[in-house]
């Protein structure tokens, strides 16, 4: 009778055995060997389907053995490739969050860098991603690595790379650098032959203090009387946020106790992402109990920020409007947002007499939008309120400015909602929404996008489609991207695959110009937006089969 392993394709089995022979982790070797022993061809094919590739926010994938997952072998190869790209003698700073194996992957990276003759500096403990991004600039490093999967499920981890020096100045890598590093990963020889040196440097707590001091310098007023409820969603943001609030002169925010300490299993939420329904339920309840002026939620690596007033959770576009107007009132200069974010930023920038730039999604593009940038945001809860301090989205510094703005509104007997009303009266109603299609297999996304390109709709609900732009065919001034833009009568829809998770995302916006009756304008925009959402959901479901 044939052994179970013979049910695995011979070529795949050979690749698996070769990987096992070079894998430095006994647990990962055992995982693959067990699958080989029972002949689980589908599981092995999944782990060896393709190497992880750089997406919107670096490498990201499930914690599993093999080239398609995040594991010590893959991390060593990525670190060796980055070291080869940089060359000996360069300085690299490495950070990590509190996810499963993040600390191991960070130390592996530091040892590989040191073994390749680079000056590797490891952050002192699990810290927010913005601290790492700050450290790249503060230490004049040639590159930075952050081990994190941000807001992904607990089964994932990831690897972000930042570059220092002219032109990059601490921003995440973009094309062609990502492709060059991927090519070097493919060219890395046996993992066992990658030299390691445990003599890397560990940074002191003074680096964290320097970050806190720098972001507190972004605050502009003296209003500090505000009651804030916060959650870090089991991530690493709570301690740093508290230090920043104290340094800036705010009273300590009230933390949701069940989510304040890091926990890589994220036990109280289905998804550790404040965008997801239900993720903020506990902190919203806390805010209601204490009568908070504003409720704040960071994602697990604290580079994103969600904001609520009472039981109303603001959209990323609404928070972006508030912060843009606040920043520009004190630091005029160019601003940037992405092609999927609200058009109101153009109106705000025009009112302040500054230029606005649009990029593809991702802060790796936003931070390169213009020289002298003073503010950037994307609707997915990411805000850069001090791009000269942190060249990435930063949920800690954004929280400081939201608290400052809420305190100023409270002093005037108002709330952030009143401030949003002011902006809509001045610039018009910009109603936005998002429709997400979660998939089990990536090919489902490709099928939907292909069907949209082959036969775009003539109308979505009651609105005729006036123009279709395919950024994969002609991005114009933007790099080519898998994005479709539908311009409708009085509305716009942008459809693209997520760069970090297995889902398709559609972004909808309805615009109504300023009018005498704000309530009526909102009602009209809301009615159309709801109709568009319903029609688009049905259309995408049909195309997805």
The answer to whether 482 touches 475, Cβ cutoff 8 Å, is: no
Closest CA to 47 of 23, 82, 80, 12: 12
DSSP string, 395-417: HHHHHHHHHHHHHHHHHTT--HH
The answer to whether 25 touches 160, Cβ cutoff 8 Å, is: no
The answer to whether 150 touches 229, Cβ cutoff 8 Å, is: no
In the prediction, which pLDDT does 383 show?
Answer: 98
Q: How far apart are CA 127 and CA 130, in angstroms?
A: 8
Name the catalytic one among 68, 102, 109, 150: 150
Closest CA to 201 of 113, 102, 332: 113
Helix, strand, coil percentages for the chain (3-state, nearest 5): 40, 20, 40
In the prediction, which pLDDT does 439 show?
Answer: 84
Q: What residues are paired with 91 via a beta bridge?
A: 119
In the prediction, which pLDDT does 475 show?
Answer: 62
Q: How far apart are CA 331 and CA 386, in angstroms?
A: 10
Please identify which residue in the block is written with the tokens 């110009």: 513
Regarding beta strands 143-147 and 91-96, do their DSSP bridges make them parallel or antiparallel, or are they unpaired? parallel
CA 287 to chain centre: 25
Cα within 13 Å of Cα(281), Cβ side: 9
Domains delineated in the chain? 1-49 (no CATH), 53-204 (3.40.120.10), 208-426 (3.40.120.10), 428-544 (3.30.310.50)
Closest CA to 132 of 308, 396, 333, 506: 396
What number of residues does the chain have?
545
In the prediction, which pLDDT does 108 show?
Answer: 98
In the prediction, which pLDDT does 544 show?
Answer: 77
DSSP string, 421-450: HHHHHHH-EEEEEEEEEE-SSHHHHHHHHH
150 is catalytic: yes
For CA atoms 329, 213, 95, 296, the dihedral sign is: negative
- pTM here is 0.93
**Distance between first and last Cα of the chain:** 41
The answer to whether 496 touches 483, Cβ cutoff 8 Å, is: yes
In the prediction, which pLDDT does 2 show?
Answer: 40
Q: How far apart are CA 460 and CA 463, in angstroms?
A: 5
Name residues whose C-beta falls within 8 Å of residue 23's C-beta, 6 or more positions apart in sequence. 29, 32, 65, 71, 72, 73, 191
In the prediction, which pLDDT does 444 show?
Answer: 86
Helix pair 102-115, 72-86: axis angle to 10 deg:
40
Strands in 253-370 per DSSP E: 254-255, 294-298, 305-309, 312-313, 335-338, 356-359
DSSP string, 170-206: TEEP-TTHHHHHHHHHHH---GGGS------EE--TH
Per-residue pLDDT of the chain (545 residues; tens, 9 = 90+): 344 445 789 999 999 999 999 999 999 999 999 999 999 999 999 999 999 988 767 899 999 999 999 999 999 999 999 999 999 999 999 999 999 999 999 999 999 999 999 999 999 999 999 999 999 999 999 999 999 999 999 999 999 999 998 888 999 999 899 999 999 999 998 999 999 999 999 999 999 999 999 999 999 988 999 999 999 999 999 999 999 999 999 999 999 999 999 999 999 999 999 999 999 999 999 999 999 999 999 999 999 999 999 999 999 999 999 999 999 999 999 999 999 999 999 999 999 999 999 999 999 999 999 999 999 999 999 999 999 999 999 999 999 999 999 999 999 999 999 999 999 999 999 999 999 998 877 788 989 999 999 999 999 999 999 999 999 887 678 888 999 999 998 899 999 998 767 889 999 999 999 988 999 999 999 999 999 999 999 999 888 75
For CA atoms 109, 75, 177, 341, the dihedral sign is: negative
């Amino acid at each position: 009778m044939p052994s179970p392993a013979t049910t695995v394709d011979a070529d795949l089995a050979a690749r698996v055995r070769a990987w096992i022979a070079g894998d430095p982790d006994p647990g990962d070797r055992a995982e693959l060997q067990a699958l080989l022993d029972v002949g689980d061809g589908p599981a092995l094919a999944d782990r060896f389907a393709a190497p992880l590739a750089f997406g919107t926010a670096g490498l990201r994938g499930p914690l599993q053995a093999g080239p398609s997952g995040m594991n010590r072998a893959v991390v060593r190869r990525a670190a060796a490739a980055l070291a080869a790209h940089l060359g000996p003698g360069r300085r690299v700073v490495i950070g990590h969050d509190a996810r499963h194996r993040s600390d191991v992957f960070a130390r592996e990276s530091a040892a590989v860098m040191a073994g390749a003759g680079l000056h590797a500096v490891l952050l002192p403990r699990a810290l927010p991603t913005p601290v790492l991004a700050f450290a790249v600039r503060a230490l004049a490093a040639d590159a930075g690595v952050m081990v994190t999967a941000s807001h992904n499920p607990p089964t994932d981890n990831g690897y972000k790379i930042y570059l220092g020096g002219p032109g990059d100045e601490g921003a995440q890598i973009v094309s062609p650098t990502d492709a060059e590093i991927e090519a070097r990963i493919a060219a890395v020889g046996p993992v066992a032959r990658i030299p390691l040196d445990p003599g890397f440097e560990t940074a002191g707590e003074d680096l964290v203090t320097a970050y806190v001091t720098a972001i507190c310098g972004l605050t502009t007023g003296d209003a500090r009387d505000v009651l804030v409820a916060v959650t870090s969603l089991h991530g690493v943001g709570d301690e740093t946020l508290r230090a920043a609030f104290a340094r800036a002169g705010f009273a300590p925010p009230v933390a949701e106790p069940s989510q304040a300490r890091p926990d890589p299993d994220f036990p109280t939420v289905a998804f550790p992402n404040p965008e997801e329904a239900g993720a903020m339920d506990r902190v919203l309840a806390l805010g209601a109990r204490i009568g908070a002026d504003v409720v704040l939620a960071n994602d697990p690596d604290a580079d994103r920020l969600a904001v609520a007033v009472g039981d109303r959770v603001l959209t990323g576009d609404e928070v972006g409007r508030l912060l843009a107007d606040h920043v520009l009132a004190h630091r005029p200069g160019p601003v940037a947002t992405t092609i999927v974010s609200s058009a109101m930023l153009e109106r705000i920038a025009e009112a302040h007499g500054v230029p606005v730039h649009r990029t593809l999604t991702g802060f790796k593009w936003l931070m390169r939008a213009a020289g002298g940038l003073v503010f950037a945001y994307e609707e997915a809860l990411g805000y850069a309120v001090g791009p000269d301090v942190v060249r990435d989205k930063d949920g800690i510094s954004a929280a400081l400015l939201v608290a400052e703005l809420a305190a100023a509104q409270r002093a005037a007997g108002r709330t952030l909602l009143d401030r949003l009303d002011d902006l809509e009266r001045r610039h018009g109603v910009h109603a936005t929404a998002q429709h997400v299609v979660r998939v089990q297999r990536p090919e489902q996304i490709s099928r939907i996008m292909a069907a949209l390109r082959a036969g775009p709709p003539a109308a979505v609900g009651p609105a005729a489609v006036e123009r279709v732009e395919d950024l994969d065919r002609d991005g114009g001034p933007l790099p080519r991207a898998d994005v479709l833009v539908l311009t409708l009568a009085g509305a716009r829809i942008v459809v693209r695959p997520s760069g970090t998770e297995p889902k398709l995302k559609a972004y909808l916006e309805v615009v109504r110009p300023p009018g005498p009756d704000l309530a009526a304008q909102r009602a009209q925009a809301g009615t159309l937006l709801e109709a568009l959402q319903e029609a688009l959901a049905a259309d995408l479901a049909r195309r997805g089969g």
